[in-house]
Amino acid sequence: MEKHQKYPYQHRDINWLSFNDRVLQEAADKSNPLYERLKFIAIFSSNLDEYFRVRVSQMRQLKRVDKSIRKKLALRPSKFVKQLLVKVKSQQEELGTIFFDHIVPELKDNNIHLLDLKTLKNNHLQLANEYYKTHLKKILHTDIVEASKSSDIFLENQHLYLLVTFQDEKKYGIVNIPSSETSRFIELKKEGDQHVITFLDDIIKANIEDIFPENIISNTYSIKLSRDAELYLDQEIDGTLADLIHKSLSQREVGQATRLLYDESMPKDVRKNVRKSLGLGKIDMVAGGTYHNFHDFFGFPNPTKNKELQAAPLKTIKHKVLEKESSYFEVIAKKDQLVHFPFMSFDYVQRFIDQASQDEQVEEIKISLYRVANESALTDALLRALKNGKKVTVFVEAKARFDEENNIKWGRIFEKHGARVIYSYPRIKVHSKVLLILRRENDKKKRYAYIGTGNFNAKTSKNYCDHGLFTADKKITKDLLRTFKVLQGDLIIPRASSLLISPFTTRSTFESLIRQEIEHSKNGKGGYITAKMNQLEDRGMIHLLYQASQAGVHIRLIVRGFSSLVPQLKGISENIEITSIVDRFLEHGRIYKFHNAGDPIMYTGSADWMSRNLDRRIEVLTPINDPDIYAELDDILDLQLRDNVKARIHTPQENNPMVQAKDGEKKIRSQEEIYKYLEQKHS
């Protein structure tokens, strides 16, 4: 826990690991279907890989700062990384216990035998050898490395390898595990209703003598190297920022090593040799289990076809208004409409754009795209609009991490078909999820908007809990038009009167609203703040929340991920309660509600209370003006606040205790209750 002036702050990177603890809790929860638990194991692994590639790599960059400056700023990156590694090691041990002691036996109970090299029987080994000869031998790549010298051997980012030790200790071998070219999990045999599956790794281990025929094998160990995911764009280049990013993407695959994950059974002298060969420091070496890349369990097969092992497919709810209407323009002109993913289909958003692409009265479409789907009805509709002569402006965020290449690809496709495409600005990201349609009605341009909390991506909408507002509100759409003019370079400041737009008005408005609650509390009018977000990190906002708590304002937060605010501290934050919901779908929506002396104010949109969202990104949050829409979001927020099945409590100890239902209290699993609520409301 850090201290800033008199207030405590959790370090975001330490608290992020607490979020991954919550993911592990779901992997261990036997009330979840077995394959859902495997999914959470995959999520944990994927999260941790990104953590090392992004967060740990950024801390390592601090080592480049002059030591005297680091000392003045109290920056001790190596010490901090060591502290993180202790926590990570504990989590990985827990993961191993959950997987090997619980999930593997439960798979066996359901006729799925996941066997390793030690438990494969002779007939299974014969099948493994046949698979090796038929499918693997031709795609394996091997290297021999001198044991005690630096080497120019290159390990690809996030790829799996086996390090092979020989009786001749002066050298060792490296062989790839080609899981990107074939399945990681191979079904060797079906015996009646019993299914035998093994890791690709073990098939290669079983044939290691054939791979290195001139050497006497001592042992094999799994290794994986993670590399810095940041793109360093400080060099000059002719062309656009998008060109620079596109040319720099290869850096990510050859970037500085941030972690070598190795089998913890690897002897010390072998680890030392590997470290020398790869030019790594001691802090880069992270012990792990026999198998790495557990994110491959996203694709673990279910050969039994037993539906009980997986979560039941979600039957999408049909929006009672949008489902029946052939013209969304007529509906939205009369009244705001709200959609919720994944409980409803993303088709409503795609259909809106498709209608605009074919509507003779529509003149312009403007949209901001943060993570573009590879191919979708949305991209098809935008291309159709261009073909039909509509003026289309697309802002493509070329710096959306891990989606840069696909985003730039689609930007160039839109450009080729006649769209005006605007790419990233050098020091600011466009994270807003907004759409504006200009339609000629009675010789005037009428504006229609969509403002969401999630990306314009049909695939992620099936797994992320998000909200989206369709509106023709004059003030909101006027502000949104000004926002697009800022993106287009036609305005410097949007001068918004209704929307919150970062980095212009979001911070100042939220600060003003918190201070207003403080005044209401002091004046006996009651002060209440309720907010749901993904992350809470900005120190200015946290400082104000502490002040509000001390003034008697009751603050109830739902923060899915990390939070730097320390709740429930006497004299500082005893009026602040924070819970986190981790369930089948990723909670991604943001809702901010201020009591306002009985006349509540609510916003929803793309921004968390993080410094980057408030000061270094273009974000858009919309007020909820329609009373019916307000009531619907408020009901959903209330169900999430009352979750006592999948909600955890943020505590100063960061131990993630579950919210417990009180005696006689109804159990509320908010995602299921929200589904029922929407199903009834839209029936």
Catalytic residues: 431
SS3 602: strand
Residues 6 or more apart whose CB falls under 8 angstroms from that of 290 comprise 116, 222, 263, 265
Collapsed DSSP state (helix, strand, coil) of residue 142: strand
DSSP for 441-491, please give it. Answer: ETTEEEEEEEEESS-S-TTGGGTEEEEEEEE--HHHHHHHHHHHHHHTTS-
CB 198 within 8 Å of CB 115: yes
Q: Which residues, in sequence order, are CB contacts of 166 under 8 Å at separation 6+?
A: 172, 173, 212, 215, 216, 217, 218
Residue 131 marked as a ligand binder: no
Q: What would the DSSP string read from start to end of 267-323?
A: -HHHHHHHHHHHT--GGGEEEE-S---GGGGGG---TT--GGGSPPPPPPBPPTTTT
Q: Let me know: does 483 contact 620? Beta carbons within 8 Å.
A: yes
Question: What residues pair up with 114 in beta bridges, in sequence order?
Answer: 197
Amino acid letter for position 624: I
Is 588 flagged in the annotation as binding?
yes
Nearest by Cα to 660 from 643, 674, 672: 643
Task: Determine whether the annotation assigns residue 464 to a binding site.
Answer: yes
584 annotated as belonging to a binding site for a ligand: no
For residues 590 and 578, what is the distance between their CA atoms, to the nearest angstrom? 15
Alpha carbon distances (Å) from 566 to 158, 310, 536, 538, 649: 35, 37, 11, 13, 11
Q: How far apart are the first and last CA of the chain?
A: 49
Q: Could you tell me what percentage of the chain is helix, strand and coil, using 3-state DSSP and rounding each to the nearest 5?
A: 40, 25, 35
d(CA 73, CA 55): 19
Give the DSSP letter of residue 62. Answer: G
The verdict on whether residue 227 carries a ligand-binding annotation is: no
Determine phi and psi for 95, rounding to 5 degrees: -60, -45
What gap in Å lies between CA 480 and CA 286, rounded to an integer?
48
- For helices 377-387 and 404-416, what crossing angle results, to 10°? 20
C-alpha atoms less than 13 angstroms from C-alpha of 625 in its C-beta half-sphere = 15
Look at strands 142-146 and 171-177 and give their pairing: antiparallel
Say whether 47 counts as a known binding-site residue: yes
Segment (H or E) for 584: none
Retrieve residue 249's tokens: 């993407």
Sign of CA dihedral 19, 20, 25, 27: positive
For the four alpha carbons of 455, 459, 463 and 465, in that order, the dihedral sign comes to positive
- Contact criterion met (CB below 8 Å) for 172 and 146: no
For residue 276, the tally of other CB atoms under 10 A from its CB is 16
What does the alpha-carbon distance between residue 229 and residue 225 come to, in Å, rounded to a whole number?
12
Residues forming the annotated binding site for ATP?
47, 464, 560, 588
Residues forming the annotated binding site for Mg(2+)?
371, 401
Residues forming the annotated binding site?
47, 371, 401, 464, 560, 588
